[in-house]
Amino acid sequence: MQGRRIRVRGQVQGVGFRPFVWRLARREGLVGEVSNDAEGVLVLAAGEAGALERLRGALSGEAPPLARVDAVEVADWAVPDPAPESFTIAASGAAGAETRVTPDAATCPDCLAEIRDPAARRHRYAFTNCTHCGPRFTILRALPYDRARTTMAPFEMCPACRAEYEDPADRRFHAQPIACPDCGPRLWAETAEGAALDGDAVALAAEALMAGRIVAVKGLGGFHLACDATNPAAVAELRRRKRRPAKPFALMAGEAVLAEHAAPTGAEWARLRAPAAPIVLIAKAGAALPEALAPGQGALGWMLPYTPLHHLLLDALGRPLVMTSGNLSGEPQVIGNDEAREKLAGFADLFVMHDREIARRLDDSVERITPAGPMVLRRARGRVPGTLPLPEGFGEAREVLALGGQMKAAICLTKNGQALLGHHLGELDEALTWEAFGQALEDYRALFDHKPEVVAVDLHPGYRATRAGEAMGLPLERVQHHHAHLAAVMGENLWPRGGGKVAGIVLDGLGLGADGTIWGGEVLLGDYAGFERIGRLAPAPLAGGDAASREPWRNLMVRLDAAGLGALADALMPDQPREALRRAVAAGVNAPLSSSAGRLFDAFAFALGVAPGRMSYEGEAGMLLEAVAAQAGPGPGWPFAVAEGVIDPAPMWQAWAAARGTPVPLAAAMFHEGLAAAFAGVARAAVADGRAQAVALSGGVLQNAVLEAALMRYLEGVPVLRHNKVPANDGGLAYGQALVAAARGLGAA
């Protein structure tokens, strides 16, 4: 008899890993034990050599659906005398921060079958879950992850649930949120005035939705506002009440209904069906839905039902629902019952409530599949608190706390070769988002047992996250905004610290540059520790300062003026206060120079009549321009001048002005092509002359699939690093900041 001591590291607790090992060991005729401890799962197994080898391979090859195995470390184990008589599940050791917390997971097929089975104990029970699915992070109050430290603590298990919980052969073995109608949370419906209603909550909600009403539904990470997505009047009323005129709504439907209104690819279905159950952007197809769901867009954001309550509701309706965050405009999602009654009463006609508390706000994740691969636009429910491995060369790095930026805020912590990139928080100007930022700091530091040695922040002194870092009394690393974007895409592609420099095409709205000006259209040559700027968009004034980010006509005026086309600007914008703004720009009043690619997109979208004069949400003009360009497909591009790395759009404006009859979709596509060709040319040159080993793509503008596809064509034959797990937008900023700060602490690679 041979013995092995097997250490399994990764996301291996709270996912059914011990009973999985127990079943494997019994299958192979092994004896010994398996336990949880501070480092993960520990297996002590004895038996025939071949059986031990098969066990080792199966630990990663056959792991439970929610497990993420990072490492399987094997050493000899001196089998005690006498040897164990069987294989057992031992009591857990001390909890530790190396074991990870599993993200929330969508209802598994077995639990779904239960709630649909009239003979099952959990028939139509809205809180059915098991080891393979259900709430995790949204109910956790503290480590270790056991029921007493979750919001399930008030619900004492009945004898039937207790028996399942204690049976290693049952899929509910040690499932902390285990519940049933006899002992678990309950569901009810109430009016907008807070009066509880008699009757089945799901049936009452379905009736209200069919009648065109708006229903607030309590989910995993907060409330959604729901309405019938096939009812134009209901959609319009929801927009009116939320004061959300144009920003796309997310949709939820079962697979059969979704397939009536979209044609997901295999990769898109895989994302939709994943345990994370994100919103996935999918091209419109099939039976048409109201245009008001996503005005001007060529895709809709779809998600499958991910809780038993969602399944029950959609089963009753047989049609898609709008499922948008339940919040006041600009505020974070509502999570508490009393908070919902106070803040959503003006939006909802009916509430579907339950009495299981939500420990933390978590928005739905948003993702898309582009021709180049997957892309995460918003990293939230289902993806956090999963960790990311640090690249080679960061093994001895100090523990870093990175605080991100002002928009799409998220924080990041590094420790023991892993980075924990937190969930999407929102805009830190909002008081409740700032409060959630503070809670996230406490949460993640406790979950990771994190003791930061350095804090990384953005260069911008006015960002609330930067000021918070300055107040911590720890060594501070200030990281330039676009360098952080570059480091983030390098890191998620595991570019080694000593792997050489890359040429980063970093395109976004704006970030404070190293020279004190506003950047946003850059080619950086750099690595984790430093960079130089080798290319940039020719700068233009942000006429009116922050107003230029909201009103695209301002950017069009300054760009046309710079191209010698002031008369055309006058003709296109006769009702705007152009002369007053020109005087302010000439005097340098509230008109900082910026190389922002985002503002150039705004300008061209307004020039084509695609974007409104004032945007109602961030990125609106760019998204509308992308949607129009996608109708035309690739082709020739408008000319951009490139001299010593400076990319000047003036020739593009002149060519477009001379061909004003060009169809709008073709003109939009030519804009994307011309911009991509210019930036790719600067980056390719750095690779060709040996200064860079690869090209990296990052920044919020790189969420544009049309632009990304064009860049990939112009970079064919060159190694390209792109985002697929970390947001290209500012949601990934903290991850890049953490890598830069860690690299600086390690010195030369």
* Nearest one of 464, 457, 404 to 434, comparing CA atoms: 464
How far is it, in rounded angstroms, from Cα 502 to Cα 490? 8
Cα separations in angstroms, 121 against 158, 179, 688: 12, 11, 66
* Beta pairing, strands 387-389 & 418-421: antiparallel
Active-site annotation holder among 4, 9, 18, 147: 18
Query: What is the torsion angle, in degrees rounded to the nearest 10, for the CA atoms of residue 681, residue 687, residue 693 and residue 697?
Result: -10
Active site residue 18: yes
Q: Strands, E, within 305-349: which ranges? A: 321-325
Sorted by sequence, the CB contacts under 8 Å of residue 591 that are 6+ apart come out as 541, 542, 543, 544, 545, 584, 585
Active site residue 729: no
Three-point CA angle 463, 466, 468, nearest 5°? 110
DSSP assigned state of 196: B
Three-point CA angle 427, 364, 407, nearest 5°? 15
How far is it, in rounded angstroms, from Cα 698 to Cα 342? 40
669 φ/ψ angles, rounded to the nearest 5 degrees: -65, -40
Alpha-helical (H) ranges within 532-572 are 552-562, 566-572
Using the structure block, give the residue that is written with the tokens 């909600």: 205
Cα separations in angstroms, 688 against 521, 681, 692, 737: 21, 10, 8, 28
DSSP assigned state of 636: -
How far is it, in rounded angstroms, from Cα 592 to Cα 200? 59
How far is it, in rounded angstroms, from Cα 101 to Cα 120? 30
Cβ contact 24:34 at 8 Å: no
> Which stretch of DSSP H or E encloses residue 27?
helix 17-27
Four-residue CA torsion sign, 696, 701, 705, 707 = negative
How far is it, in rounded angstroms, from Cα 174 to Cα 153? 14
Buried b (16+ CB within 10 A) or exposed e, 544-580: beeebbbbbbbbbbbbbbbbebeebbeebbeebebee
How far is it, in rounded angstroms, from Cα 474 to Cα 452? 8
In DSSP notation, 104-118 reads PBPPPHHHHHHHH-T
What is the layout of strands, in order, in the sheet containing 279-283? 187-191, 350-354, 215-218, 223-228, 321-325, 250-252, 299-303, 279-283, 366-370, 373-378
How far is it, in rounded angstroms, from Cα 509 to Cα 703? 12
Record the tokens describing residue 51, joined without a space.
Answer: 């059986």
Cβ contact 111:133 at 8 Å: yes
Sorted by sequence, the CB contacts under 8 Å of residue 579 that are 6+ apart come out as none
Active-site annotation holder among 7, 23, 26, 36: 36
Four-residue CA torsion sign, 259, 305, 246, 733 = negative
Question: Catalytic residues, which ones?
Answer: 18, 36
